[in-house]
């Protein structure tokens, strides 16, 4: 059984779901979960996106604020603190996703992903800035020079394009989510359901 976690590091619900995934770290099969980073908002430029205005334009003012409240409630349920001021400016996730794909080992991938989430949602870091990404990479004990070199060697640009095409070919589903053997898994959001999924893999 192949399990994949589809996410965008700049999505707050991806951050929340990843923390739940981390809680299963003692499960023997957690190391088999593949991280599938995908940029879900193509409108994000290198200068970041005003996500509040984006939501207002797309859903209306009332619905936009309701979505922010949903994030706060979901974070509270997981005992997470998310700075909404940081969340309102969504940085371009391409470089961060490339860095995740450039990491050689699964455990290091998870560690770097966690550090990137933390930098975005608790510090408001601009992860599209190579200097800041280097600091995040070094902060988890990885060699930033090697990772940046791997970004080119492993052709992560093409990898991200291939991932995006694949995800876009699937039925529309709110991000993040799990794929089991290439099919969308309707995770009910509970920790027990996630544990059972991993145990069955």
Q: Is the pLDDT of residue 125 over 70?
A: yes
- pLDDT above 90 covers a percentage of the chain that reads 49
Q: What pLDDT score was predicted for residue 52? A: 82
**Mean pLDDT, residues 140-145 taken together:** 98
Q: What pLDDT score was predicted for residue 26? A: 67
Question: Of 191, 175, 186, 178, nearest to 10 (Cα)?
Answer: 175
Contact 8, 15 (CB under 8 A): no
Q: Kindly report, residue by residue over 146-185, the tens digit of the pLDDT.
A: 999 999 999 999 999 999 999 999 999 989 999 999 999 8
Q: Kindly report, residue by residue over 41-98, the tens digit of the pLDDT.
A: 877 777 778 888 888 888 898 888 888 888 888 887 777 877 777 777 889 999 999 9
Domain ranges of the chain: 1-9+16-44+92-187, 49-90
Q: Strand 3-7 and strand 34-37: pairing?
A: parallel
Q: What pLDDT score was predicted for residue 44? A: 79
Q: What pLDDT score was predicted for residue 21? A: 87
For domain 1-9+16-44+92-187, give the CATH number. Answer: 3.40.30.10
Its pTM stands at 0.88
pLDDT, greater one: 43 or 143 = 143
Q: Kindly report, residue by residue over 15-38, the tens digit of the pLDDT.
A: 999 988 888 776 666 667 899 999
Sheet holding 3-7, edge to edge: 34-37, 3-7, 177-180, 183-185
User: Which of the four pLDDT bands, split at 50, 70 and 90, describes residue 145?
Assistant: very high
Which range is least confidently modeled, 106-110, 139-143, 160-164?
106-110
What is the distance between the alpha carbons of residues 122 and 129, in angstroms, rounded to a whole number? 17
């Amino acid at each position: 059984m192949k399990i994949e976690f589809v996410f965008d590091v700049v999505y707050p619900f991806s951050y929340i779901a990843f923390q739940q995934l981390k809680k299963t770290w003692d499960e023997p099969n957690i190391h088999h979960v593949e991280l599938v980073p995908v940029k879900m908002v193509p409108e994000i430029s290198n200068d970041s996106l005003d996500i509040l205005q984006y939501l207002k334009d797309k859903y209306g003012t009332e619905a936009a604020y309701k979505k922010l409240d949903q994030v706060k409630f979901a974070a509270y349920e997981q005992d997470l603190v998310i700075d909404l001021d940081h969340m309102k400016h969504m940085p371009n996730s391409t470089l961060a996703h490339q860095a995740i794909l450039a990491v050689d080992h699964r455990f290091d991938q998870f560690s770097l992903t966690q550090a990137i989430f933390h930098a975005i949602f608790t510090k408001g870091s601009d992860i599209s800035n190579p200097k800041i990404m280097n600091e995040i990479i070094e902060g988890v004990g990885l060699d930033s020079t090697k990772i940046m070199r791997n970004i080119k060697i492993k052709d992560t640009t093409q990898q991200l394009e291939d991932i995006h095409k694949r995800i876009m070919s699937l039925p529309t589903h709110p991000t993040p989510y799990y794929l089991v053997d290439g099919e969308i898994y309707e995770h009910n959001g509970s920790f027990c359901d996630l544990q059972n999924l991993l145990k069955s893999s």
